[in-house]
Amino acid sequence: MKYDLSGVVRIIRGVNKSTFLIPFFRSDNSNRLFAQELSSEHKIIKFVEINTENYEVLLKSMPPIHREVGEAGIMAYIRRDGDIVVGEAGQVITGLRATSLEADNSPFFEIDAYRLTGQPKKLRAAIKRARRAFGDGEIANAWAQRERAVGAGATPQQVASQELTLSLIESDLELEIWPEHWFALWRSGMSRFRLSEVGLLYVLKGVGNTGEKGRILGAIASYKRSHEISSFYSACIHWLNDCNRLDYYPYEWGKIWLSLDNEEITTNDSYVKYAVSFLESRSPKKSSRQWALVWIKIYENFGYKYENIEEKLLNLAGSELFRSNMANIVVRTMLGFLSKRAKDFRIRTIVIEWLHKSQHSSSWIDTYISVMVPEEADGDLLYLGKRWLDEDDGRLRRWVDIYSLIERIEGGTIELREIAKRWLLRANKNMKTWPDMATRYLLDGWDPEVGDAAKEWMNAHVDHAALWDLNLIIASNEERMSENITLRN
Q: Which of the four pLDDT bands, split at 50, 70 and 90, describes residue 328?
A: low
Q: Assess whether pLDDT exceeds 60 at residue 138.
A: no
Which one, of 405, 396, 462, lies nearest residue 434 by Cα? 396
The region of weakest confidence among 37-46, 60-69, 479-488 is: 479-488
Report pLDDT digits (tens) over 460-481: 888 888 788 888 888 888 777 6
Sign of CA dihedral 60, 65, 69, 75: negative
Distance in angstroms (rounded) separating the CA atoms of residues 316 and 312: 6
> Mean pLDDT of all residues in the chain?
84
Distance in angstroms (rounded) separating the CA atoms of residues 29 and 93: 31
Mean pLDDT across 287-316? 84
The amino acid present at 223, given as its one-letter code, is: Y
- Of residues 105 and 272, the one with the higher pLDDT is 272
The region of weakest confidence among 141-150, 216-225, 351-360, 452-461 is: 141-150
Quote the pLDDT of residue 233.
92
Q: Which of the four pLDDT bands, split at 50, 70 and 90, describes residue 140?
A: low
Q: Assess whether pLDDT exceeds 70 at residue 168.
A: yes
Quote the pLDDT of residue 152.
53
Quote the pLDDT of residue 142.
58
Contact 336, 297 (CB under 8 A): no
Q: Assess whether pLDDT exceeds 70 at residue 18.
A: yes
Distance in angstroms (rounded) separating the CA atoms of residues 85 and 139: 33
Q: Which of the four pLDDT bands, split at 50, 70 and 90, describes residue 415?
A: very high
Which one, of 396, 345, 336, lies nearest residue 369 by Cα? 336
Distance in angstroms (rounded) separating the CA atoms of residues 129 and 172: 34
3-state SS, residue 22: strand
Quote the pLDDT of residue 130.
73
Report pLDDT digits (tens) over 354-373: 888 877 777 888 888 888 87
Beta carbons within 10 angstroms of residue 259's beta carbon: 20
Q: Which of the four pLDDT bands, split at 50, 70 and 90, describes residue 106?
A: confident
> How many residues are present in the chain?
489
Mean pLDDT across 187-210? 89
Q: What is the pTM of this model?
A: 0.58
